[in-house]
A = this chain, B = another copy of it.
Amino acid sequence: MRKTSPASAIPPAPRRRAPSRRAIATSLSILDAAEELFAERGYDGASVRDIAAAAGAQIASISFHHGGKAALFEKVVERRADELSKLRLDQLAQLHQADGQQTLNDILSAFLRPYLEKIAAGDPHWIAYARLVAMVSADARWRQIAERCFDPTANIFIDEIAALFPGVEKSAVAMAFVFSVSAMLSLSTSQWRIEALSGEAPAAATMDALSDALVRYCEAGLRAALER
């Protein structure tokens, strides 16, 4: 069944020459600048001009390296989503290896803590990421990004939670899960609102305390919504 012709059978590799160090730097700085400006001003509010300027690059570089504004936005979201999904699934795998019965708190922590630790470290890239996720989640125009970047991991966690509540419909679990993700995102997207509503005393709460409160909030909320 094999073709007899030697090398020509395999089409000549459509692979390009490896990009130069400088090209990589340009491409990356555009990605970083885009992340910041998209998060701050939204997709329509951030122009490729401003992104290029912030990156110290040419406008034309954006189309050249990333294929246009829309494709750039997708790459920005995808880069972070992939890293975060990996961390979350790693946590889940560790739970399974420990092979005691995992609790709701374990599963929720595996999902929430990796992100909470990122923002507790104060990394502005990850604070920006919450705003991007909120945009994608609220805008049907980015449906494909959500399906590709968020849904696979979310489904795994929803199924894990559903296993703890036999007889409860998956849609109910999905709903309570979305409530929890929304609450998590609000820590970043609405930080200024929380501060504005906190009154005079700034209350130098550590991010760790906020994280713990969020996990407790979500766990209790999920139980109340799903238990009979």
| Chain A positions 198-228 with a Cβ under 8 Å from a chain B Cβ | 198-199, 201-203, 205, 210, 213-214, 216-225
Chain-B contact segment, one of A13-21, A87-95, A182-190: A182-190
| Chain A positions 137-183 with a Cβ under 8 Å from a chain B Cβ | 137-140, 143, 146-147, 151, 154-155, 158, 169-172, 174-183
**Chain B residues in 8 Å Cβ range of A182:** 182-183, 185-186, 190
Cα distance, A49 to B25, chains bound together (Å): 40
| Chain A positions 1-47 with a Cβ under 8 Å from a chain B Cβ | 41-45
Selected contact of A42 from candidates B44, B171, B196, CB within 8 Å: B44
Q: Which residue of B lies closest to A197 (CB)?
A: B174
Decide if B217 touches A154 in the complex (CB within 8 Å): no
Decide if A179 touches B175 in the complex (CB within 8 Å): no
Decide if A171 touches B224 in the complex (CB within 8 Å): no
Decide if A178 touches B201 in the complex (CB within 8 Å): no
Interface residue A70 (Cβ < 8 Å from any Cβ of B): no
Decide if A138 touches B189 in the complex (CB within 8 Å): yes
Cα distance, A9 to B133, chains bound together (Å): 59
Q: Which residue of B lies closest to A172 (CB)?
A: B213
Cα distance, A129 to B172, chains bound together (Å): 24
Q: Which residue of B lies closest to A212 (CB)?
A: B225
